[in-house]
Amino acid sequence: MTLPDIGAVQLPQALDVIRAEVREFLQAERTAGRFVPHCDAWLSAADPAFSRRLGEQGWLGMTFPPEYGGTGAGALARFVVTEELLAAGAPVAGHWIADRQSGPSILRFGTEEQKQSYLPGIARGETWFAIGMSEPDSGSDLASVRTRATRAEGGWRVSGTKVWTSGAHHAHAMIALVRTDALDPTRRHAGLSQFIIDLDVPGIQITPIRLLSGAHHFNEVVLDDVFVPDGRVLGEIGDGWRQVTSELAWERSGPERFLSTYPLLAAAVDRLANAADSSASASVGTLVARIWTLRQMSISVASRLDAGQSPDIEAALVKDLGTLFEGTLTDAVRMLVRTEPDTESTDGLTRLLAESILQMPGFTLRGGTNEILRGVVARGLGVR
């Protein structure tokens, strides 16, 4: 058994300058009343104008080279920017998926025309993407994809249904995993391909899947004989499984996997600061120590992604431990403060606690359930 490599990585001191600039920018945004902090903001809070302002600052597309509209600053610089945005509870949901994984996937597997068509818009905060992986009755088993693509003149005809498609009602395009060859039960991962599908073409219906709270983040996307030209095939036909699993490290390892509820912790610390309660101090100290550990793990994965590696096992560990922690943090704050959760409250702590409780069931599900991730880790360690 080979243990995963999650050795400590020190962020370059030069990135302190970027961190200070982002904090100054966010303080100015809050002072101007342009946003209020939310928990799980990377999934639930979209603001086109805010995304454009980030693009103007050069804080989107930081992993893209300048010829495609990015800054080439790299994954560690992006890590610094994103953890500050998450800690502030800023409205980043609109561009999040495009900047985190759709853009890097196009950069890695796309044609020159695809890169020129999509990456500059992502870097400006104007082109948003959704992920078309999950399907009805499939759970986290991506190999059971039933959305079919059949050959047509100049392209493909795609029919099927994608579900739990975060932000599709805002997005301009979706990278969909589809079956381009008949299912072979002995090779379930074969015959899959990835297509870039613009979401304004005929044959697409997007329907909300509302949470119990009534909030709308998830969608069902029905594709009814949608024509996808050959120029929108991402990578190689039949290579979809390898491609899609390579992007999962981006999806699973970032600071959004342990900072979704950080605004709640910050508000609780402000409330408890003058309480002189030693047990509360100990609880907060434990939470902060766990955040620090998860952060070091996440930075380590970011550094390996920056080096062109595929740290799939390490990313799965970050997601598993991080999303469990987000729920633990919510429960801990609920026990520490005497307030009734209320999404409509004008009190920040009360509202953030309600948001965290309502979002909590999804923490360990999205991006692959934690049970699936433990299977990934076990296979990677050679014990399954």
- Kindly report, residue by residue over 62-106, the tens digit of the pLDDT: 999 999 999 999 989 999 999 999 999 999 999 999 999 999 999
pLDDT of residue 10 exceeding 80: no
Alpha-carbon gap, residue 4 to 375, rounded angstroms: 14
Instruction: With respect to residue 157, please indicate whether it lies within any of the assigned structural domains.
Output: yes
The reported pTM is 0.91
Question: Residue 20's pLDDT is what?
Answer: 96
Q: Give the residue with greater pLDDT, 198 vs 377.
A: 198
Alpha-carbon gap, residue 319 to 335, rounded angstroms: 25
Q: How many domains does the chain have?
A: 3
Distance from CA of residue 350 to its chain's centroid? 26
If asked whether residues 121 and 148 sit together in one domain, one would say: no
Q: Taking the CB of residue 371, how many other CB atoms lie within 10 A of it?
A: 12
Question: Residue 279's pLDDT is what?
Answer: 87
Alpha-carbon gap, residue 377 to 86, rounded angstroms: 27
If asked whether residues 73 and 184 sit together in one domain, one would say: no
Tell me, what CATH number does 339's domain have? 1.20.140.10
pLDDT of residue 342 exceeding 60: yes
What mean pLDDT comes out for the span 207-230? 94
Q: Is residue 236 very low, low, confident or very high in pLDDT (cuts 50, 70, 90)?
A: very high
Alpha-carbon gap, residue 309 to 294, rounded angstroms: 20
Question: Residue 140's pLDDT is what?
Answer: 66
Instruction: With respect to residue 329, please indicate whether it lies within any of the assigned structural domains.
Output: yes
Alpha-carbon gap, residue 108 to 309, rounded angstroms: 12
Question: Mind listing the pLDDT tens digit for each residue in 286-308?
Answer: 999 999 999 999 998 888 887 87
Give the domain extent around 120. 13-127
What mean pLDDT comes out for the span 14-25? 95
If asked whether residues 18 and 60 sit together in one domain, one would say: yes
What mean pLDDT comes out for the span 224-248? 93
Q: Is residue 381 very low, low, confident or very high in pLDDT (cuts 50, 70, 90)?
A: confident
If asked whether residues 294 and 362 sit together in one domain, one would say: yes
pLDDT of residue 4 exceeding 60: no
Structure token pair of residue 119: 């990456």
H helix or E strand, kind and range, residue 372: helix 370-380
Q: Give the residue with greater pLDDT, 231 vs 384.
A: 231
Instruction: With respect to residue 245, please indicate whether it lies within any of the assigned structural domains.
Output: no
Question: Residue 275's pLDDT is what?
Answer: 76
Question: Mind listing the pLDDT tens digit for each residue in 240-266?
Answer: 998 988 777 777 888 999 999 999 999
Q: End of a domain among 127, 154, 182?
A: 127
Q: Is residue 184 very low, low, confident or very high in pLDDT (cuts 50, 70, 90)?
A: confident
If asked whether residues 140 and 180 sit together in one domain, one would say: yes
If asked whether residues 120 and 152 sit together in one domain, one would say: no
If asked whether residues 232 and 282 sit together in one domain, one would say: no
If asked whether residues 376 and 279 sit together in one domain, one would say: yes
> 47-51, 60-64, 127-131, 301-305: which has the minimum mean pLDDT?
301-305
pLDDT of residue 2 exceeding 60: no
Q: Is residue 5 very low, low, confident or very high in pLDDT (cuts 50, 70, 90)?
A: low
If asked whether residues 361 and 329 sit together in one domain, one would say: yes
Instruction: With respect to residue 21, please indicate whether it lies within any of the assigned structural domains.
Output: yes
Percent of the chain with pLDDT over 90: 70
Q: Give the residue with greater pLDDT, 171 vs 213.
A: 171
If asked whether residues 57 and 90 sit together in one domain, one would say: yes
pLDDT of residue 137 exceeding 90: no
Residue 105, burial from CB neighbour count under 10 angstroms (0-12, 13-18, 19+): buried
Q: Strands 204-210 and 216-229, how do they pair?
A: antiparallel
Q: What amino acid is encoded at 71 in this protein?
A: T
H helix or E strand, kind and range, residue 308: none
C-alpha distances in Å from residue 140, one per residue of 40, 144, 172: 21, 9, 25
If asked whether residues 224 and 284 sit together in one domain, one would say: no
What mean pLDDT comes out for the span 349-370? 90
What mean pLDDT comes out for the span 3-16? 73
Alpha-carbon gap, residue 82 to 76, rounded angstroms: 10
If asked whether residues 167 and 185 sit together in one domain, one would say: yes
Question: Residue 8's pLDDT is what?
Answer: 62
For 15-18, which contacts have Cβ atoms below 8 Å and span 24 or more sequence positions?
A: 15/76, 15/77, 15/80, 18/73, 18/77, 18/80, 18/81
Residue with tokens 């301009």: 172
Instruction: With respect to residue 6, please indicate whether it lies within any of the assigned structural domains.
Output: no
- Residue 271, classed as helix, strand or coil, is helix
Question: Residue 303's pLDDT is what?
Answer: 85
